[in-house]
């Protein structure tokens, strides 16, 4: 887990702090599949800006995830430029929208924030290529490697009596 101690940053209203941090990324489970970040540690730009009402945090990094295609189960790679922004009010009171969940005891949890920002930036489906044909629903073969169609669907013998009745009517 990578965290940043905000006690080392002394900012007045209108001032900004910029730094590059090495952030450890954890594997993600997306759509029931596990995706591994490669490399596991990325260089991220952290910007802390002090406003009159609170603090704005920004995090930017490039990430690459490796895992299975959600259509054909072949290897897939997703590359993303991730940008996240969080706000922490000076006096948030009971309003949860004015607090960042990544800040506790003046420590900013960069790994959890990076994981969540990356998960929010993922596409609806992770595919090996945009035109992936997927797997055949009948035989399970990869339609990208061996495109094919099946002639007739096999009729379940338990429904044969109903099929005969349908044909007679």
d(CA 5, CA 100): 15
Burial category of 61 from C-beta neighbours within 10 Å (exposed 0-12, middle 13-18, buried 19 and up):
buried
Going from N- to C-terminal start, the domains of the chain cover 3-121, 133-169
d(CA 78, CA 129): 10
Percent of the chain, pLDDT > 70?
97
d(CA 30, CA 155): 36
Task: Report residue 52's pLDDT band, with 50, 70 and 90 as the boundaries.
Answer: confident
Phi, psi of 136 (to 5 degrees): -65, 130
Whether pLDDT at 41 is above 90: yes
Task: Report residue 154's pLDDT band, with 50, 70 and 90 as the boundaries.
Answer: low
- For the segment 125-138, the average pLDDT, to the nearest whole number, is 93
Q: What is the pLDDT of residues 132-151, one digit of tens each?
A: 999 998 889 999 999 988 87
Least Cα distance to 128 among 79, 69, 64 occurs for: 69
C-alpha pair distances (Å), 134 with each of 6, 118, 149, 151 = 48, 25, 13, 19
Work out the mean pLDDT of the chain and round it to a whole number: 91
Q: What is the pTM of this model?
A: 0.80
Task: Report residue 34's pLDDT band, with 50, 70 and 90 as the boundaries.
Answer: very high
pLDDT score for 9: 86
- For the segment 90-109, the average pLDDT, to the nearest whole number, is 85
pLDDT score for 93: 74
Least Cα distance to 105 among 118, 88, 86 occurs for: 88
Q: Which residue has the higher pLDDT, 67 or 158?
A: 67
User: Cβ–Cβ contacts within 10 Å for residue 30, how many?
Assistant: 18
- For the segment 43-49, the average pLDDT, to the nearest whole number, is 96
Percent of the chain, pLDDT > 90?
64
- For the segment 28-51, the average pLDDT, to the nearest whole number, is 94
Whether pLDDT at 99 is above 90: no
Collect all residues with Cβ–Cβ distance below 8 Å to 159 and sequence separation of at least 6: none
């Amino acid at each position: 887990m990578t965290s940043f101690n905000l006690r080392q940053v002394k900012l007045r209203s209108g001032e900004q702090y910029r730094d590059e941090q090495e952030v450890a990324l954890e594997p993600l489970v997306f759509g029931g599949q596990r995706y591994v970040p490669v490399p596991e540690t990325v260089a991220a730009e952290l910007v802390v800006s002090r406003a009159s009402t609170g603090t704005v945090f920004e995090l930017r990094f490039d990430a690459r995830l490796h895992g299975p295609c959600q259509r054909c189960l072949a290897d897939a790679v997703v590359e993303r430029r991730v940008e996240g922004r969080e706000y922490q009010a000076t006096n948030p009171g009971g309003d949860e929208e004015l607090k960042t969940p990544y800040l506790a005891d003046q420590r900013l949890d960069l790994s959890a924030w990076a994981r969540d920002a990356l998960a929010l930036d993922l596409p609806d489906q992770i595919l090996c290529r945009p035109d992936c044909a997927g797997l055949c629903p009948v035989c399970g073969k990869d339609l990208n490697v061996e495109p094919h169609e099946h002639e007739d669907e096999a009729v379940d013998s338990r429904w044969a009596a109903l099929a005969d009745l349908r044909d007679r009517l």
